[in-house]
């Protein structure tokens, strides 16, 4: 096994290691509206457990979108746990709060409440502090933590099918925007180097996640860009994505992935906001901010959301117009306060 990770393995808490060592049948759950980090982390945990001959079930409230079809084992995700399985451990990956698990948690509230639970996450807004939880906001991605966990358990990152290395690399690539975000640390790069050494196709993963989009998705991007607006003397840039936009161009809801990162490329704006219609009385708000400026978790926290200082989100139980009316004044207040 590679020695690249050795200097960083001391950061792995004993609780998760001991818990996974004792587990006999594990339920691993990702967050709703999944991305590469939550899916990759779940697959990574499954690969670790499979190498130790521990049965594992992967569950996600939403079916993973086609963007992630390249991930080995992606078809193994279910929308609900196996009713015949006798689980003894629930592992929740990349969920800033339990609410992010989604509807599957409500459908199986009794099961979720009865199981020993382990949370593996990197969101600063996550308050989980159980004996088996590992929340590290210094990690660029939850997949970074799972790579370290594999090392601590003595599980090789390399495998004949490349599933472990590829899955974990995908999560790191997505949550660092191919190492362009300031969250990539020396430890992130060490984990990535170990994964590449183990066979992760870094260039191909980066291409698939960031430089390969169907035409319908590009048309969707065009609609959002066409209605760009600014406020707070240009410090804030924002736009809206409606359900009719998605339907009219023939896109999938998952094709909205990446739009907020496009808005955040504004040269002048320090806060980028995308208001996405999620239903008649539901709006998903995505926030990106620049280093040294507004803390995105402070803004989204006002509306029950969370995430990271530079990337966060919230869900509001109101239509898009009302969501804009509530969020923009607070964003303007915070942005102008930082620049006084």
- Burial string for 47-81 (b: 16+ CB within 10 Å, else e) reads bbbbeeebbbbbbbbbebbebbeebbbbeebeeeb
pLDDT of residue 3: 87
State both tokens at 268: 């002048």
- Does residue 112 carry a pLDDT above 90? yes
Q: What token pair was written down for 70?
A: 């390249």
Residue spans per domain, the chain: 6-210, 215-338
Q: List, in sequence order, every beta strand (DSSP E) within 202-340.
A: 229-231, 236-241, 271-279, 282-289, 306-307, 311-316
pLDDT above 70 for 262: yes
Rounded to whole angstroms, the Cα distance separating 26 from 28 reads 6
- Mean pLDDT (the chain, rounded): 95
> What average pLDDT does range 305-321 have in this prediction?
91
pLDDT at 1 over 60: no
Write out pLDDT tens, residues 198-250: 999 999 999 999 999 999 999 999 999 999 999 999 999 999 999 999 999 99
Under 8 Å between Cβ of 302 and 330: yes
pLDDT of the residue at 298:
95
Tokens, residue 203 = 């260039």
Task: Give the model's pLDDT for residue 268.
Answer: 93
Q: What is the mean pLDDT of residues 65-70?
A: 94
Q: 302 CB contacts (<8 Å, ≥6 apart)? A: 330
Confidence of residue 263 (pLDDT cuts 50, 70, 90): very high
Q: How confident is the model at residue 2 (pLDDT cuts 50, 70, 90)?
A: low
Q: Which two tokens stand for residue 16?
A: 């998760």
Ramachandran region, residue 267 (left: φ > 0; alpha: ψ -120 to 50; beta: rest): alpha
315 token code pair: 């869900």
- What Å distances lie between residue 245 and 113, 252, 255, 277, CA to CA? 39, 10, 11, 10
Report pLDDT for 306: 86
Distance CA 326, CA 323 (A): 5
Considering only 15-19, 88-92, 192-196, 311-315, which range has the smallest mean pLDDT?
A: 311-315
Report the candidate in 284, 303, 311 with the shortest Cα–Cα distance to residue 141: 311
What's the mean pLDDT in 290-310? Answer: 92
For the chain, what percent of residues have pLDDT higher than 70? Answer: 99
Instruction: Give Cβ neighbours of residue 93 (< 8 Å, ≥ 6 apart).
Output: 28, 29, 30, 31, 38, 41, 42, 45, 120, 121, 142, 146
Largest CA distance in the chain: 60
Task: Looking at the structure, give the CATH architecture of the domain made up of residues 215-338.
Answer: Roll (3.10)
Look at the pTM and tell me if it is higher than 0.75: yes
Residue 27 has φ and ψ, to the nearest 5°, of: -105, 120
- Give the model confidence (pLDDT) of 156-193 as tens digits: 999 888 899 999 999 999 999 999 888 999 999 999 99
pLDDT at residue 321 is higher than 90: yes
pLDDT at res. 129: 92
Domains 6-210 and 215-338 in one fold: no
What's 6-210's CATH class? alpha beta
| Residue pair 235/273 in contact by the 8 Å Cβ criterion | no
């Amino acid at each position: 096994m590679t020695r690249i990770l050795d200097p960083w393995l001391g950061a792995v808490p004993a609780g998760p290691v001991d818990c996974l060592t004792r587990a006999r049948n594990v339920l691993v759950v990702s967050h709703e509206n999944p991305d590469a980090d939550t899916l990759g982390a779940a697959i990574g945990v499954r690969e670790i457990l499979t190498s130790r001959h521990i049965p594992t079930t992967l569950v996600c409230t939403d079916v993973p979108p086609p963007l992630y079809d390249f991930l080995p084992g992606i078809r193994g995700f279910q929308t609900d746990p196996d009713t015949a399985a006798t689980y003894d451990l629930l592992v929740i990956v990349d969920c800033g709060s339990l609410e992010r698990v989604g509807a599957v948690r409500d459908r199986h509230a009794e099961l979720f409440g009865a199981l020993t639970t382990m949370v593996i996450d990197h969101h600063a807004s996550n308050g989980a502090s159980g004996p088996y939880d590992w929340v590290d906001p210094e990690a660029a991605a939850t997949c970074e933590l799972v790579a370290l966990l594999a090392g601590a358990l003595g599980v090789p990152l390399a495998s004949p099918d490349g599933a472990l290395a590829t899955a974990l690399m995908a999560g790191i690539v997505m949550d660092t925007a191919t190492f362009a975000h300031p969250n990539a640390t020396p430890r992130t790069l060490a984990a990535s180097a170990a994964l590449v050494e183990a066979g992760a196709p870094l260039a191909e993963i980066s291409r698939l996640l960031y430089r390969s989009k169907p035409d319908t998705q590009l048309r969707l991007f065009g609609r959002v860009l066409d209605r760009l607006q600014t406020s707070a003397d240009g410090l804030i840039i924002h736009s809206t994505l409606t359900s009719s936009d998605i339907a009219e161009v023939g896109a999938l809801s998952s094709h909205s992935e990446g739009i907020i990162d496009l808005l955040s490329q504004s040269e002048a704006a320090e806060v980028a906001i995308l208001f996405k219609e999620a239903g008649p009385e539901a709006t998903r708000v995505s926030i990106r901010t620049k280093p040294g400026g507004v803390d995105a978790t402070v803004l989204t926290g006002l509306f029950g959301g969370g995430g990271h200082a530079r990337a966060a989100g919230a869900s509001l139980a109101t239509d898009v117009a009302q969501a804009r009316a509530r969020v923009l004044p607070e964003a303007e207040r915070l942005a102008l306060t930082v620049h006084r």
